[in-house]
Structure 1
Amino acid sequence: MSQSDAFSRHKARSEKEDTGRRLLDRAVERLTRHVASRSSRRSLLGRAGAWVTFGALVPTLPVERASAATPAKPQPAKFKAPTPFAANAQTKDPTACNYWRYCAIDGFLCASCGGGVHSCPPGTSPSPTSWIGTCFNPGDGQSYLVAYRDCCGQDACSQPMCLGSEGDQPSYRPQANNDIIWCFGTGALIYNCSTSVIVGNAS
């Protein structure tokens, strides 16, 4: 290829590019003149200001935002009570007879007599043996094996007596009989109150 051919090709290419640029320049010029002839500077500034104001107001529009929504409080699960005592049982107040652990208790509550749900009052000692019951906890829907121990060594507590008879068996089945005074083996057969200790899950 000669030098003159290369030069003529280069010239033709640059003329095409110039033609394309001229066409684009003319189109932009026509559009600008058309807009300028139909609107004033004041209206252009007014429209630009309106768009800026609208853009600033968009975030304040009322829309549902997932981050701002407060989650609904979960409702406590309702479990079907297996027994009449469990239907009225509660989990908050251990000094009331309908506390869920007291389904098979018979006596005064140590929680009302200076002790706790599972601890004897000062000056008394727990019996080495106990009777058992299976109580339903309405808080978690589980049934638990509960051991009841008498606290012995002082006169009976003068608080109201509670009688839970779930699973109560005759005296010839002493492990499930709540009428027996369980103070033998403590050195004093004087009954004071009863505790309830969770042994484990009954299921």
Structure 2
Amino acid sequence: MRSLFNWIDRRTEQRLRQVAHSHGRRSLLARLGVALVGGAVLPMLPFDRSGQFMGAQAAEPGKAPGAKAHDDPMQCEYWRYCAFDGYLCTCCGGTLTQCPPGTDASKVSWVGTCLNPKDGRHYLVSYNDCCGKGSCGECLCNNNERERPGYRLGVHNDINWCMANTSSMFHCTTSVIVGVA
């Protein structure tokens, strides 16, 4: 048995010496650097998440199996959420138009024009963040239909709209129809 271990030690030492003679420290460091950078970049590559939560949504209790997502205010596909970015207040203790208790509506908001599939009309929808409590963390939606770049603030949804309130903590977002487009 001892002779087997000695043989393994000799073979390992020979192989390591061969590698050391043919490759320098810099090439080893360069390869390690490539591996580290490649490992850090890999999670940033795009991939399709559209079907990731399909099974969980289908098994939710209390949902009618034939209900369409554009009719359900608890779903991101609800027609009023075409330019929505945030947590649905309907999942956080509020309603489509009212903030949950303990929060205040933002003094500023962004707007979107959404098509109601039932009547075929476009409606002007105001999205008001509810401020004053920590993030709700339920029902996150990010729809960017007709969103404009950040320099057009009234139609840009990636801003903390609680900035004008006393407390700038964002909790959730409401969706209020303000008129027909």
For this structure pair, what is the TM-score category when the shorter chain's length is used for normalisation?
0.5 to 0.7
Query: Structure 1 residue runs of 4+, over 2 Å off?
Result: none
**How do 1:31-110 residues align onto structure 2 when only pairs under 5 Å count?**
90-91=70-71, 93-110=72-89
Instruction: Identify the residue that residue 113 of structure 2 maps to in structure 1.
Output: 134
CA contact (8 A) 2:69 2:75 kept: no
CA contact (8 A) 1:131 1:177 kept: yes
Q: Considering only aligned residues, what root-mean-square deviation do their CA atoms show, in Å?
A: 1.2
Q: Which runs of 5+ in 1 are unaligned?
A: 1-87
**How do 1:182-193 residues align onto structure 2 when only pairs under 5 Å count?**
182-193=161-172
Q: TM-score, normalised by structure 1?
A: 0.55
Paired residues in the alignment total 114
Partner deviation per Cα, 1:10-53 (whole Å, 9 max, x = no partner): xxxxxxxxxxxxxxxxxxxxxxxxxxxxxxxxxxxxxxxxxxxx
**How do 1:163-202 residues align onto structure 2 when only pairs under 5 Å count?**
163-202=142-181
Partner deviation per Cα, 1:99-158 (whole Å, 9 max, x = no partner): 100000001000110000011000000001110000000111111000001000001012
Aligned partners of 1:124, 1:148: CA distance in 2, in Å?
15
Aligned partners of 1:137, 1:189: CA distance in 2, in Å?
32
CA contact (8 A) 1:89 1:138 kept: no
Q: Secondary structure at the match of 2:162?
A: coil
Pair 1:159 & 2:130 matched: no
Q: Amino acid of the residue matched to residue 125 of structure 1?
A: D
Instruction: Identify the residue that residue 100 of structure 2 maps to in structure 1.
Output: 121
Instruction: Identify the residue that residue 33 of structure 2 maps to in structure 1.
Output: none
Q: Which runs of 5+ in 2 are unaligned?
A: 1-67
Aligned partners of 1:179, 1:89: CA distance in 2, in Å?
24
The alignment-based identity, stated in percent, is: 52
Aligned partners of 1:99, 1:163: CA distance in 2, in Å?
12
Aligned partners of 1:141, 1:89: CA distance in 2, in Å?
16
Larger CA Rg, structure 1 vs 2: 1
Aligned partners of 1:169, 1:121: CA distance in 2, in Å?
29
User: Offset of 1:89 from its aligned partner?
Assistant: 5.8
Q: TM-score, normalised by structure 2?
A: 0.61
